[in-house]
Amino acid sequence: MNIKKSGFVAIIGRPNVGKSTLLNYLIGEKISITSPKPQTTRWQILGIKTLKHTQIIYIDTPGLHREEKRAMNRYMNRIANAVILDADVVVFMIDAVSWRGEDEMVLKRLQEAEKPVILAINKIDLLKDKSELLPFIDKLKDKFNFTHIIPISAIEGKNAHLLEEEIAKLLPEGPQLYPDNQMTDKNVRFQIAEIIREKLIHATEEELPYATTVEVEQFEQSDKLTNIGVVIWVERHGQKVIIIGKKGARLKKIGMQARREIEKLLDHKVFLRLWVKVKENWTDNDKALKSLGYE
CATH number of the domain that residue 226 is part of: 3.30.300.20
Separation of CA 237 from chain center: 28
Closest CA to 23 of 48, 1, 42, 43: 48
Confidence at residue 209, expressed as pLDDT on a 0 to 100 scale:
75
Same domain, 202 and 91: no
Same domain, 74 and 149: yes
The answer as to whether 158 is a domain residue is yes
Confidence at residue 210, expressed as pLDDT on a 0 to 100 scale:
83
Same domain, 238 and 159: no
For the stretch 104-158, pLDDT in tens is: 999 998 988 889 999 999 999 999 888 889 999 999 999 999 999 999 999 999 9
Confidence at residue 104, expressed as pLDDT on a 0 to 100 scale:
93
Same domain, 117 and 200: no
Same domain, 228 and 91: no
Same domain, 18 and 157: yes
Same domain, 95 and 214: no
The answer as to whether 181 is a domain residue is no
CATH number of the domain that residue 34 is part of: 3.40.50.300
Same domain, 159 and 204: no
Same domain, 22 and 166: yes
Q: At what angle do helices 71-86 and 101-113 cross, to 10 degrees?
A: 40
Closest CA to 256 of 185, 188, 199: 199
The answer as to whether 180 is a domain residue is no
Averaged pLDDT, 176-187: 94
Same domain, 92 and 235: no
Q: Which domain holds residue 257?
A: 188-291
The answer as to whether 83 is a domain residue is yes
Q: How far apart are CA 28 and CA 166, in angstroms?
A: 18
DSSP per residue, 63-128: PP-S---SHHHHHHHHHHHHHHHH-SEEEEEEETTB--HHHHHHHHHHHHH---EEEEEE-GGG-S
Beta strands in the chain (DSSP E): 5-13, 45-50, 54-60, 89-95, 117-122, 148-151, 213-221, 226-234, 270-278
Sign (positive/negative) of CA torsion 189, 194, 199, 204?
A: positive
Pair type for strands 54-60 and 45-50: antiparallel
Number of domains in the chain: 2
